[in-house]
Structure 1
Amino acid sequence: MTRPSALRFWLAIGWLALVAGWAWWEYSHFSGLYRWLAEWQIAKWGGYEQVWTALVPAFILAIPAFRVLRERELLNQASLIAGDDPVPILHRVRSGVLICGVILALVAGGSYLYSQTLPDPSDPPATVDLAALGGAAPPTGSAIFARAVPDTDRALQMDEAFRSRSADIDHQTIYVPVVAEGAAKDAPVRFFIDRASYAFADSGEAPRTNIFLADHMQGVLVENGLPADVVAAFEKQGVATASPHYLMTTNSVGGRQTYYIVTALGGFIAVILFLLAAIQSASIARARRRTA
């Protein structure tokens, strides 16, 4: 078996990065193959699996890169069995792990730093008077609506189930269009508000459907804050969404949530890779002592 070149190795790593970026883009924008698969599942079963819809196509596309990495690993093992000096092999493995860890750490750090430029949910709320605002852009961040009417007749309910060994939880989010007092309801909707509810499936309860409080429209106002699949669902039921639109979310971190997720995942994987690099360093030291 011919040893894969360093170029093939880094091309495989680059391909994995491209596939991961593509999968994340389609998931976050509800577009392309991800959207087609989601809509096919919705038409067939009435819902879709968000995680598996993104992961399965990404895994299939990543198979060629996995094969290159597997070939490299098998050749490394064969070299060690043949009695070759293990130090160069361990050096290559450690270098690859370190580079990937540094890249992920930079992504995690950049995501966190960017999240801090977004509005802080803990700031005192600004009053957004929809009737007086007209077509002007509202201030984003912590806010409270005034002279606003929730259009509950056009509310959209999104359900999602979380299954684990300890509990099965049904999560429901209701997205409600909000219009200014006296405004026509046939124009594209600029403002929305969300409410979330949870219920344990084994308790026999159902998520509450009366969780929307018309007299308590306070939260974090996020520009273009509706998830892409929610925008598509509104369009399917005939509710046009303005561009830009604004979501008053009750999520405690507001528009920072996606970036916090990227930070947490990237940082977690980077820490694992750095630990693996440390283990490789210890293995290199032991190998050098044995050959000394």
Structure 2
Amino acid sequence: MKGCLKTLHQAPLSAKAGLLLILLYSLVALFAPWLAPYGETSVVGDGYAPWGPEFWLGTDNLGRDVLSRLIYGARNTISVAFIITLLAFTLGGLTGLIAAIKGGWLDQSLSRLVDILMAIPQLIFALLILSVVGTSTLSLILVIALLDATRVFRLSRAVAMNVVVQDFVEAARLRGEGLGWLIWREVLPNTLPPLVAEFGLRFCFVFLFISALSFLGLGIQPPTADWGSMVRENAVMLSFGDFTPLLPALAVALLTIGVNFVVDWVLHRTSGLKG
């Protein structure tokens, strides 16, 4: 515990700001029902009501409170992005490590399959699949997780290839250790820093990708609050000089910046650089 506090104390200001933003967003997402003044889908006033004491950030096109929708949007968008990133790393990370350790035909087969999937533009591929299988939250999670797992596979395999040729891995093979031991005790601990940093970056990419899909109408579906769809639903307000539709975009940008600050700090620490 003292070591963690000392590490945080020595962190640069940008990393501390990033950690504070992540903590703030996490608390808002966790306690959304208690922080939001109104329900997520409750129609509480006239459409496009201005900012005021009753509705701090006004209302949207249907008369729902924008502040409440922003708060619930944090829970929905962040939780879906985190689940997708976790699934992508579980699938892509493990298959990448297995391919590097096993080599041979298994490595070649998985690598060529990933090459085929990565050759198709991600947004076009996602739009195509979601238009066929539907736009439920489950299908959204599975489709994006599968597409992102290909990127994680390439990274984990590339990093692991530099580890599996080391003497301590060869010694473990000669002792007769199984695949599980080689993954969890030999290779993964020595590939963890870049994978942790990539987890943060991949979360940002997924977060932005979900918002883009929601803006196009194929992401998290109404009436569920989502920052991308909130921009689309209220974009007409910009024509009248009301910048309320930009608030969800600002929320996305702030979290992305905060995560990137922390990722930069993690990469700096694990690289062995000082200062």
Q: Give the TM-score taking structure 2 as reference length.
A: 0.29
Q: Which has the higher strand share?
A: 1
Larger Rg: 1
TM-score between the two structures when normalised by the length of structure 1: 0.28
Larger helix percent: 2
